């Protein structure tokens, strides 16, 4: 870590800083220029207590970290060669598509099955469908546990793996017992650290994948990566990072589209990035463009809300679901862009 200072620490300030560094087993290397000085702190700087103690000193204005705060998620960690198998695809490397309803309506089972076959024909690798839904209003449809059976029937009949969101321990247990192939941790739950730990614990050695959305309230990219670290630290490295837009929103879009952070995530971690343009832009007409952008930014896949008859859907489907026909074109074109984007990926990411 580097502490820049203008002009330099007094003797007593330096002594106080030295006492802290001794306590944490690191050392200070001062570098004095004409006008300003910098103090390099050498050694393991990952302890948040060390950073907080230094940042808490009245005469320290700024601390620049060199080491990433995450360990297992770092590109150079022992997991750097880990690959995630999603259906027949292996990530990073291949390009995957997860598609299906925002919400499964248990009164319209046939519509979901029609969509499931539609996305399969379009070339999707995994079917998604919301069983339990995090709705802003408690008066909106909250989902229905019965929909899990419909989702499982879709898996059985299409042969494709399935993805659904879990918001609490009860739902997590049900889905692990049902061997749901991929658990989604939504944007609202991405800051629920206890749930992230429970997901890691419950899916350890199970082969179950976890799609972790970026919370709309997350700022620094490291905050998102550290959320994934909670799951991986409990023993499940099969995590995919999913940017889905943040706040404050951009007028006209549902969120502030964040497909571009794919490049930063790919640089800093080994985990595959599967972008969700549907919740980012929030309107069916903008979704194809945002999908193409995600592929150009180097994403390993996309999650696209898709419905065979969006007007008959519930939840987000009437406004942001594309049809399986549009999905087929998106898949054809994003695959090509993914292949082009790989030509520009730094060597470490392309391997």
| Interface pick for ligand PEP out of 120, 155, 268, 279 (rule CB under 6 A) | 279
Smallest separation, CB 139 to Mn ion (Å):
17
Stretch that binds ligand PEP, among 27-35, 119-127, 185-193, 194-202 (CB under 6 A): 185-193
| Interface pick for ligand PEP out of 102, 182, 308, 322 (rule CB under 6 A) | 102
| Interface pick for ligand PEP out of 89, 120, 155, 213 (rule CB under 6 A) | 213
91 binds, among ligand PEP, Mn ion, none (CB under 5 to 8 A by kind): none
Binding residues for Mn ion (CB under 5 A): 102, 316
Query: How far, in Å, CA of 153 to CA of 89, rounded?
Result: 22
Q: What tokens does 72 get?
A: 């297992």
| Interface pick for ligand PEP out of 130, 200, 310, 324 (rule CB under 6 A) | 130
Smallest separation, CB 341 to ligand PEP (Å):
23
Query: How far, in Å, CA of 350 to CA of 343, rounded?
Result: 8
State the burial class of residue 86 (Cβ atoms within 10 Å of its Cβ: 0-12, 13-18, 19+).
buried
Closest residue to ligand PEP in the complex (CB): 186
**244 binds ligand PEP, rule: CB under 6 A:** yes
Three-class DSSP category at 270: coil
Three-class DSSP category at 86: strand
Three-class DSSP category at 313: coil
**187 binds ligand PEP, rule: CB under 6 A:** yes
**307 binds ligand PEP, rule: CB under 6 A:** no
The full DSSP string for 324-339 is HHHHHHHHHHHHHHHH
4 binds, among ligand PEP, Mn ion, none (CB under 5 to 8 A by kind): none
The 155-184 site mask, x for binding ligand PEP (CB under 6 A), equals ------------------------------
- Write the secondary structure of 288-306 as one string of H (helix), E (strand) and C (coil): HHHHHHHHHCCCCEEEEEE
**277 binds ligand PEP, rule: CB under 6 A:** no
The H-or-E segment that residue 38 falls in is: strand 37-42
Q: CA 154, 277, 255 angle in degrees (round to 5)?
A: 125
The 189-208 site mask, x for binding ligand PEP (CB under 6 A), equals --------------------
Note if the bond before 7 is cis, omega within 30 degrees: yes
User: In the complex, which residues of this chain contact ligand PEP (CB under 6 A)?
Assistant: 102, 130, 134, 186-188, 213, 244, 279, 316
């Amino acid at each position: 870590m580097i502490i820049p200072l203008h002009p330099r620490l007094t003797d007593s300030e330096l002594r106080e800083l030295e006492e802290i560094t001794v306590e944490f087993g690191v050392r200070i290397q001062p570098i004095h220029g004409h006008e300003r000085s910098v103090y390099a702190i050498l050694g393991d700087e990952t302890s948040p207590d060390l950073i907080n103690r230094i940042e808490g000193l009245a005469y320290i204005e700024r601390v620049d970290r060199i080491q990433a705060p995450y360990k297992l998620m770092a590109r150079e960690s022992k997991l750097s060669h880990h690959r995630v198998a999603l259906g027949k695809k292996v990530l990073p490397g291949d390009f995957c598509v997860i598609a299906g309803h925002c919400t499964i309506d248990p009164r319209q089972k046939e519509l979901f099955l029609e969509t499931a076959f539609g996305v399969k024909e379009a070339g999707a690798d995994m079917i998604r469908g919301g069983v339990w839904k995090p709705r802003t209003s408690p008066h909106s449809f909250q989902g229905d546990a019965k929909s899990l059976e419909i989702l499982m029937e879709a898996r059985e009949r299409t042969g494709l793996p399935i993805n659904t969101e879990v918001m609490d321990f009860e739902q997590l247990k049900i889905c692990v017992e049902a061997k749901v192939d991929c658990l989604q941790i939504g944007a609202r739950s991405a800051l629920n650290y206890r749930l992230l730990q429970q997901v890691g614990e419950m899916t350890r050695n199970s082969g179950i994948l976890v799609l972790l959305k970026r919370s709309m309230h997350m700022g620094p990219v490291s905050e998102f990566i550290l959320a994934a670290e909670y799951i991986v630290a409990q023993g499940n490295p099969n995590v995919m990072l999913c940017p889905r837009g943040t706040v404050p929103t951009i007028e006209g879009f549902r969120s502030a589209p964040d497909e571009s952070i794919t490049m930063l995530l790919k640089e800093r971690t080994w985990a595959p990035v599967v972008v969700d343009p549907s919740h980012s832009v929030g309107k069916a007409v903008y979704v194809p463009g945002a999908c193409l952008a995600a592929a150009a930014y180097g994403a390993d896949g996309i999650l696209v809300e898709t419905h065979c008859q969006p007007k008959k859907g519930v939840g987000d489907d009437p406004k942001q679901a594309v049809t399986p026909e549009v999905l087929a074109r998106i898949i054809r074109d994003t695959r090509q862009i993914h292949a082009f984007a790989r030509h520009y990926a730094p060597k470490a990411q392309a391997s």
